[in-house]
Chain A
């Protein structure tokens, strides 16, 4: 995802001279390095100074540039939180805040590097759009949207590198603000976003093996949320499931439940998220997700799939 973002951004940057990237002492992945070499004026490294990374983006946007702030998710959103809120969101400036390693991607780096609450925290701020692509293709589409958009600030939540493709055979194209069906079915619908789509795909496969037909839905635009699209899916399936790599309060699950309540949905609704807990577990990303209960074995068991 990192590399797809970098390649897409580089491409766009050759055409659009307003595009700039401001990093806070993070080695630029892939083509960002090339961007740095080819357009040195439009590449700024503030050093380990995330607050001014956001502040400078605001100032540059006020002068008509289209800056992207780029570093690890915790340091792009949590560390300079009030700068994101006041400088970018309150003033509604078209700055994209790119967070690498959303959720608990950086498993061995420990709690200080886990953006467990990124979607919840970002979702609480007025004006902030949230995009959470699940694979390289969606990352490309989301990045291109960020480059063109005129809405205001965006939190672009990415994983790291090497994510597989989940969407090349999707039913729907990527469209800003709309849920996207990757598979179309009748019995179960699974909502997910971001790299944990991997688990959603595995779960869909297990359901299908057990004879159920499944709609697999990428909720890549988390804010503004496609309430209508979610509502339609809840009405069309007997069983809805949310899988997300975010704390249980403030993410997608609660909002889907809200929508279900408002429309008096009569489907079954299950939500699987990170625990409301700092889990001190080191190992692979999957190890840490499993410690939060997010493994295929745990889901299959809880959902009693045979």
Chain B
């Protein structure tokens, strides 16, 4: 496995993400509704965190990683589920039983499920929990990074900003957050309905964080941002993304926030994504 501080194999990451997108679409055919577009939006971030940033535990040890990950935008958790499946933390049967009474996976991540470190789904909770974890690790002397993925919608919750300010007060440079900046909430574009939402980067910096803005589907750029961090402040990687990334008819189209494609749409989506080359 490529180590964190060495390079990051961007091509391999692209291949994995293609596989993950296909798998998420496959799961979409089992249920009437799921959050496809939110998962596609943050997939490269979550993949980078698991495959490029989190340090693995020694072979055979549980949990699988020394570092922690919180999916603060809980409704994007299909991205996390398919990755945990790939790592063998979740079983294939877990995903087959997604959102059924015999399964253990619901539409939001649940603490207690293998690989899930906190129950999220109500937006704006992840940042506070992550700040608490990062602080606890520091006073206990544990060398651990806490990675968080936030949606831009969560930056509308006051609680997120309370935690952002507190993390900076505490100088928690073991805390690394990603913002999935797709310009969409559940209802409309931020840039249209809430123009004062921008600029994001300046706000985060004004709250005492180190912050960079990159393409949120460009794993290598986000990886560089991580490597080049100052290690003096908490780090926010603001990733500009496309909600529904990878399937043309889902990109920027609000209904795909929570909807399963029908058979024809499913076939079209797979065709657009293409096969995974070996």
Q: Which residues of A contact B (CB under 8 A)?
A: 23, 25-28, 45-52, 74-75, 79, 108-113, 280-283, 287, 291
Contacts and interface: CB of A to CB of B under 8 A. Distances in A.
A108 B106 contact: yes
Nearest to A24: B156
A47 B153 contact: yes
Q: When A and B form their complex, which 9 residue pairs have the shortest distance between CB atoms, in order from nearest?
A: A112-B121, A47-B156, A283-B101, A110-B106, A282-B106, A48-B153, A108-B99, A48-B156, A25-B185
Contact of A74 (B122, B157, B185): B122
A139 B162 CA distance: 38
B108 A113 contact: yes
Interface string B234-267: 0000000000000000000010000000000000
B63 interface: no
A282 B103 contact: yes
Contacts of B268: none
A183 B216 CA distance: 59
Interface residues of B, number: 34
Nearest to B113: A280
B108 A110 contact: yes
Contacts of B106: 108-110, 280, 282
Contact of A110 (B31, B100, B121, B123): B121
A51 B162 CA distance: 14
Given A25-B186, A282-B101, A111 B119 contact: yes
Contacts of A282: 98-101, 103, 105-107
7 contacts: A25-B186, A47-B190, A79-B122, A109-B106, A280-B104, A281-B101, A282-B103
Contacts of B74: 112
A51 B106 CA distance: 27
Interface of B: 31, 74, 98-101, 103-108, 110, 112, 119-124, 153-154, 156-158, 185-188, 190, 193-194, 197, 254
A160 to B, nearest CB: 12
Contacts of B190: 47
A285 B101 CA distance: 11
Contacts of B153: 25, 47-48
Contacts of B158: 49, 51-52
A108 B107 contact: yes
A108 B119 CA distance: 14
Nearest to A78: B122
Given A25-B156, A27-B187, A280-B110, A48 B123 contact: yes
A47 B194 contact: yes
Given A112-B119, A112-B121, A280-B110, A291 B186 contact: no
B122 A112 contact: yes
A48 B185 contact: yes
A295 to B, nearest CB: 12
Contacts of A46: 156
B101 to A, nearest CB: 4
Given A110-B107, A111-B110, A49 B157 contact: yes
Contacts of B107: 108-110, 282
A79 B122 CA distance: 9
